[in-house]
Amino acid sequence: MLAAVILSGGESRRMGSPKALLPWQGRPFLQHLLDVTAHPKIGYRRVVLGAHAEIITRSIHLDPEEIVINPEWEKGQLSSIHAALLSLPIGKTDGMLLCPVDHPLVSADLISKLIAAFYSERPAIALPVYNGRRGHPLIFSAALYPELLDAPLDLGARAVVWAHKNEILEVPTIEEGVILNLNDPQAFEKLRG
């Protein structure tokens, strides 16, 4: 069983409004990620909120058990990963599917392929690759949870990825969305244009 963790704790300063609520194909980014992570191998889901927790929970129906509030969201993405990990039942997950809310353009099919590859090969990390470029979401094996919890805040989860560079399973995809980081209005308008 995996945990799906959707990171939506940041301030969205460059975007100017909560990225979780931006529209994509008739629904907000966050709702799209909730929909595509509905998979039989995902037994737990956590939506990590921070700066805009109130407006997001008013705008999107979330299961209260899935909401994790990160009071330290200003410390960056890794602090949200920590909050999610600490909320999970100990020893009950094989790994964590990590979905940043600013990388919403992924399909349920991609999620399924990533999960199937992870369970087939059992790597430390599984991630999608588009045209030679690594993207999101990633699956971290549960064996890496302690390293994620100990990683330096300034480097974040990248430190763990770098430390396990020879234990990464790359899953090829034709979905460009895995490398599209929708961080600012220009990137969003380009997508919509």
Domain coordinates in residue numbering, the chain: 2-192
pTM, whole model, 2 decimals?
A: 0.92
Entry field: residues in the chain: 193
Q: Report H helices in 13-157.
A: 29-36, 53-59, 77-87, 108-121, 145-150
Consecutive 10-residue runs of the chain (193 residues): their mean pLDDT? 92 66 85 95 95 90 93 90 94 96 91 98 97 96 96 90 96 92 61 58
The answer to whether the CB of 8 falls within 8 A of the CB of 81 is no
pLDDT for 16 equals: 55
pLDDT for 13 equals: 61
Token readout for 151 is 């990683």
Q: What is the pLDDT of residues 7-52, one digit of tens each?
A: 988 765 665 567 788 887 788 989 999 999 999 999 999 999 988 8
Q: Across the strands, what pairs with 152?
A: none
Q: Which CATH number does the domain 2-192 belong to among 3.90.550.10, 3.40.640.10, 3.40.50.720, 1.10.1740.10?
A: 3.90.550.10
pLDDT for 92 equals: 95
The separation between CA 62 and the C-alpha centre of its own chain, rounded to angstroms, equals 16
